[in-house]
Structure 1
């Protein structure tokens, strides 16, 4: 066998010449070749059987190749089988009608397709048409310039183009149909294509699932060039419906057209979108660029200009990006314009302006209404001062009034230039200083110092859903920091309630924007008036003063997980019959130890010398204690005078949910009644 290097219709022409030379009286001829190489196509271990057709009209042709490669299409190691009828029509054109079967083509392409080839030497053209099911592909090129082709695709399964895609990207096409009219040129150092396209229900996914699309429909114009070191694509068109994932950017596209213009370049698996324009009329307009590394991670985003209209911009385009900043769920309305840049390390600069913006985190942990003004920040250098204010601000469930602050960015830190006063519950929150580092992914992100004055405790309780306590809240927080994903309270906060003080120290709040925030800290109670405290609840009246502490407090999802609590009233006072019964219930005593039921019916209040109660919570079990050990338990109330009162708790280890139910019953007026 001899190697062959010639045009692909070489075998047909040779066969026809044999017919003419022999006058048609000849048997089938078999031809074998080690290799056939033409521009854009190479085949090896080929065999061809050529013989006269029935009634001497043309030839039957059967051709096979063990391996065929089409580098421009990314097709490698294909098995090829072809058979059909070759003849010449009245106009002198060579026409081949038959079937082609490929083995191993991407997406199962052309496993059994009809094939028509028309060679017209007078018109200097060769046309190839392929039809399989509803898919149709046609290629036409000059006989004297086979490196230039005109390609038409109709209803082509997207998976058939997987080989072509693999030459520029490591992802894969999984669904959809493609229509296209393209001009293709095979040059010495590159492959170029340009033309119109339309996509219907296309789906794709990249390595690691960071670049993906689903049910995408689009149309427009595309230009493509592939070189040894990479490839580039220029696209101008519109998208309609479907979903698109580009790293942290997720888009749920609307049914109406979204205009898209972009220029991309890929090198060694990395993808750079060097020009990007998106216009979704009622949601988002933007211009900029972005880039992804070989793993599909976003390593550059520069939006030179964007204008967003909410809520459409958030629901269609913003959910994925905000999740990268720990914000998972947002209710937002209004408008916003600005710019933003980030790289693999995080944010590098942003600016925004708004006339009115309302937003609330899902769950109501944070919300702002009537946000207006501007912010301008950069990781380097200095930016001009800007003013930003709001009509209303909500932290947790605590409402705050209107306020406005002046901000300036220097060397990566956005700071208040002067103290800001925020009305809160008939009092004031003075923000004495605030420094925020938006680009910090670890370490200290925010630091502030606060002063709280004359906040109405009853209003605060209503906001938090607590029983209404009397008094005011005040204090100073000299240093509150947001470090890593944790808020740290430096110094402490002192609350003036019940004619005494509640001091909160060592407080931390981890994962503040997550589903299960974790709170730790210590709470000290100093000289609280028990009369004022017990009057808030339907617990029963106790007079005197109480101090205590809740140490090593740990809340998970705002629910107690651990603490060491102890409370002591050691200055004496009076305790009502109802309070005695409720304390007895909490301690699991069933009835006051050492007192008969008849005595409780006669006397409404009792004198006491000491009251003490403690609880150490670990897991779901609270270990109870009191003033000291007593027979079969621990003493809660040590009486004084006559009748002498002693309350004993008998249960040391109490299931925490059970204890909570007892406390709820006691404070809601459903405690035990002695008859």
Structure 2
């Protein structure tokens, strides 16, 4: 019926245009007509006949092949055209229309409409709302071509254009994406009756910026160039895409990256896939980031499955630190010991994914330098190769470093042979980690559940003697004498807590310090928590007081520090009692300065010391001395070796002549004040008398 109406239209128009009749014009209401790949609804025709024949065709709705879509209120004016018995020819065609999303548009060109429904169209189009966009549309039997030329087109108009020309609408939150900058270049789309068949583009984006309402996407001062070509084949698409990012910064949660002309980011990929099936295969991927990063490989994604990444073979052939760490790794390491490192060196890696699961992985490090800015951990001259497989036992892995530190305690040249397992690792042979003049000898080491939020690590070993003088100097503490040594059985890390199943023995000051029930929670966190118990036996007081310049005390010291809790290495809780034992044969003498410092620490008084004839004595005999402190929060509850008259407590009980007694009366002391008094005593000899307590 539509073709019959069109035939009548053309034949009637041709007959009326002949010399036998003299009509000024004719108006026809046609209705609907259609051809191959197009259709018109609500068609009416005005013919003005005379010296300048004009055809005015008005269409309520014109539907063209996708992605061109439907236009409304279309008006085609043909001037100087001709009509014969099969063709309406319009060499000078003017077109106007309205689009629901793009608004008002106009164009000029030519058109030929044949009796059999064939339409030949060549139009140059402009959009009122997009001054920088020019479109040329070619439409012929069974094929069409649309070419868009962009000249500094404001990119803010792009979401509306894409939404209008996409069918179905793209699954992209365009309404929530703010875009800025200008686009230049061209896009070309060709197709036929079955839709889009070929796409190509070369675009440049300058002064670019973007942001998402939820804060997960942002960019500014961008300069990007895109070249893309794709062709439909066998129900899918095959093509090539090349993107160069030469300026600006972008944030794609949680990664922020900057590019420059000297170190641009480039992505090149050859692909094939089917948007209808949600499937994409990247046959060749080449990603570079200046000289710092190069990744090659292939991918297979299927959005219908979870996870979408089904297969992958990726090779990190070059990864330079610190760019690789600071840009691409650090954002994912927040809250770990690796979150704030100074880095140098080279790494390479290989990943293989099959059926959505990681099947093989390899990582190689060469001359890597890692140092935590918070001083918790450092490894220098690190090299190693880690090999992992899901299906079989991989070859042996290795890790070595020339030096390093843990909380400023130096580590020496170390080499470990490891076996990586499905979700863990184990040490293949005992290893020795030099520490100052001793070592940590690791007999066994095993880690499990490394891919979970609760990994488990276990090891057994021992510490060969380490000089306490060297250890104290390394951590900037007063110089102790003696050695640190001991067996470390059943060390376990789980749930963020490191626990020691055995006892550590410290041989210091000719005595013994035993550490039990040691637990360290969040060891590399912002505020690690250490807990445990210490028992002290037969320490030489002369060596201790000489080390700390406290004032000389001769004798032996024993006691304990139980229920110890340190947060970020500062004590918040303990029950401590230190005293000289009554039994035992050893010299018991105390100097005037030591007496004065004990008075200061206990907030007490010490006889008539410093006045009268006692000031001529440099030291005194004593029977027993000691202090205890029960710390809860910021307050220390003080006591001594025995009750004293008037509600006090003995800090020093004298013996012989001249006899001295040091009695404390302050029961509660602010912990910070107590520490200040001790520091003053051992550093400058200046101290508070305690009279204000």
1:149–1:376 Cα change, 3 Å: same
**Alpha-carbon spacing, 1:626–1:191, altered in 2? closer, same or farther (3 Å):** farther
Q: 2:598 aligns with which of 573, 583, 587?
A: 583
Structure 1 window deviating more from structure 2 (454-463 vs 296-305): it is 296-305
| Separation of aligned partners in 1, 2:64 and 2:112 | 27
Partners of 1:17 and 1:429 lie apart in 2 by 105
- 1:614 corresponds in structure 2 to 628
SS in 2 for 1:124: strand
Whether the aligned pair in 2 keeps the contact of 1:636 and 1:649 (CA below 8 Å) is: no
Partner secondary structure for residue 551 of structure 1: strand
Structure 2 counterpart of 1:160 = 160
Which of 133, 136, 140 matches 2:133? Answer: 136
Separation in structure 2 between the aligned mates of residue 274 and residue 464 of structure 1, nearest angstrom: 53
The offset of 1:622, in angstroms, is 3.2
Partner of 2:268 in structure 1? 261
Aligned position for 2:463: 452
Deviation sequence 1:489-538 (CA, Å, 0-9, x none): 23232222222223333333333333333333333333322221221213
Which among 278, 285, 298 is matched to residue 294 of structure 2?
285
C-alpha distance 337-166 of structure 1, shift in aligned 2 (>3 A): farther
Residue 86 (structure 2) aligns with? none
Give me the whole-angstrom Cα distance separating, in 1, the residues matched to 2:279 and 2:57.
45
Q: CA deviation at 1:425?
A: 0.8
1:650 is the counterpart of 2:666: yes
| CA 142–253 in structure 1, closer or farther in 2 if over 3 Å, else same | same
Contact 1:247 1:297 survives alignment (8 Å)? no
Larger Rg belongs to: 2
Residues 527-559 of structure 1: CA deviation (Å, up to 9, x unaligned):
322221221213222222223333333333333
Say if 2:200 and 2:228, in contact at 8 Å, map to a contact too. Answer: yes
Paired residue for 1:477?
A: 488
In structure 2, the residue matched to 1:320 is: 331
In structure 2, how many angstroms separate the alpha carbons of the residues matched to 1:148 and 1:403?
A: 68
Cα deviation 1:430-458 (Å, max 9, x = unaligned): 12222234733244432222221121211
Measured in 2, the distance between the counterparts of 1:312 and 1:603 equals 68
2:629 alignment partner, SS class:
strand
Relative distance call for 1:405 and 1:95 in structure 2 (3 A) is same
1:79-108 Cα shifts (integer Å, max 9, x gaps): x8879884536894243266x6666x4xxx
Which residues of 2 match residues 491-570 of structure 1 at below 5 A?
Answer: 491-570=502-581
1:265–1:272 CA contact under 8 A, matched in 2: yes
Identify the residue that residue 639 of structure 1 maps to in structure 2. 653
Shift of residue 260, structure 1, vs aligned partner: 0.9
Once residues 243 and 47 of structure 1 are traced to their aligned partners in structure 2, the CA distance between those partners, rounded to angstroms, is 53
Aligned to 1:598: 611
* 625-634 vs 453-462, greater mean Cα deviation: 625-634
Equivalent position SS for 2:678: helix
C-alpha distance in 2, partners of 1:454/1:428? 7
Q: Which residue of 2 aligns with 1:119?
A: 110
Matched-pair contact (CA < 8 Å) for 1:520–1:552: yes
Q: Displacement of 1:308 after TM fit?
A: 1.0
Say if 1:39 and 1:147, in contact at 8 Å, map to a contact too.
no
Evaluate the alpha carbon distance shift between residue 488 and residue 102 of structure 1 in structure 2; reply closer, same or farther with a 3 A threshold.
farther
Instruction: Give the superposition deviation at 1:423.
Output: 2.0
Displacement of 1:140 in angstroms is 1.8
- Residue 278 of structure 1 and its aligned partner are, at CA, apart by 0.7
Q: Give the conservation status (yes or no) of the 8 Å contact 2:629–2:638.
A: yes
For residue 554 of structure 2, give the secondary structure of its aligned residue in structure 1.
coil
1:88 and 2:79 correspond:
yes
Task: Give the one of 221, 225, 237 matched to 1:219.
Answer: 225
Give the match's secondary structure for 1:468: coil
Secondary structure in structure 2 of the residue aligned to 1:612: strand
Query: Equivalent residues in 2 for 1:287-436 (5 A)?
Result: 287-288=296-297, 303-323=314-334, 327-340=338-351, 349-436=360-447
Q: Distance in 1 between matches of 2:276 and 2:253?
A: 18
- Does the 8 Å contact 2:65/2:195 carry over to 1? no
Cα displacement (A) at 1:615: 3.0
Q: Is the 8 A contact 2:558 2:578 kept in 1?
A: yes
Please give the secondary structure, in 2, of the residue aligned with 1:319: helix
- Normalised by the length of structure 2, the TM-score is 0.77
Give the Å deviation of 1:283.
Answer: 0.4
* Counterpart contact for 1:510–1:517, Cα < 8 Å: yes
Say which SS state the counterpart of residue 461 (structure 2) adopts: strand
Query: Matched residues in 2 for 1:523 and 1:140: separation?
Result: 87
In the alignment, the residues of structure 2 paired with residue 504 and residue 5 of structure 1 have an alpha-carbon distance, to the nearest angstrom, of 99
Q: Taking structure 1 as reference, are residues 85 and 125 closer, same or farther at Cα in structure 2, changes over 3 Å only?
A: closer
- The 1-side partners of 2:106 and 2:413 are apart by 75
Which residue does 1:466 correspond to in 2?
477
Where do 1:125-204 residues align within 5 Å?
125-131=121-127, 132=129, 134-145=131-142, 148-156=145-153, 157=155, 158-161=158-161, 163=163, 164=166, 167-172=169-174, 173-175=177-179, 176-178=181-183, 179-185=185-191, 188=194, 193-202=199-208
User: Deviations for 1:586-612, whole angstroms, at most 9, x for unmatched residues?
Assistant: 33x2x5255465266344333333333
**Contact (CA 8 Å) 1:207, 1:296: kept in 2 or not?**
no
Q: Secondary structure at the match of 1:580?
A: helix
**Structure 2: gaps spanning 5 or more residues:** 82-88, 114-118
C-alpha separation between the residues in 2 aligned to 1:310 and 1:299? 27
SS of the equivalent of 2:473 reads helix
CA distance in 1, matches of 2:637, 2:357: 47
CA, structure 1 residues 224+657, in 2 after alignment: closer, same or farther (shift >3 Å)?
A: farther
**Structure 2 vs 1, CA of residues 667 and 128 (structure 1 numbering), >3 Å: closer, same or farther?**
farther
Aligned counterpart, 2:85: none
In structure 2, relative to structure 1, the CA distance for the partners of 1:267 and 1:87 (3 Å cut) is closer
Q: Would the aligned equivalents of 2:55 and 2:79 in 1 still touch at CA under 8 Å?
A: no
2:255 is equivalent to residue 241 of structure 1: no
Indicate if the aligned counterparts of 1:377 and 1:412 stay in contact, CA closer than 8 A.
no
Contact kept, 8 Å, 1:231 with 1:266, in 2: the verdict is yes
**The residue matched to 2:660 in structure 1 has which SS?**
coil
Tell me if structure 1 keeps the 8 A contact 2:455–2:494: yes
Q: 1:261 to 1:575 in 2, by over 3 A?
A: same
Q: How far does residue 61 in structure 1 lie from its aligned partner after superposition?
A: 9.1
When normalised by structure 1's length, the TM-score is: 0.79
Contact in 1 for aligned 2:40/2:59 (Cα 8 Å):
no
After superposition, the Cα gap between the structure-2 partners of 1:24 and 1:519, relative to the gap in structure 1 and judged at 3 Å, is farther
Alpha-carbon separation, structure 2, partners of 1:32 and 1:180: 38
2: distance between equivalents of 1:17 and 1:550? 114
Distance 1:40 1:615 in 2: 93
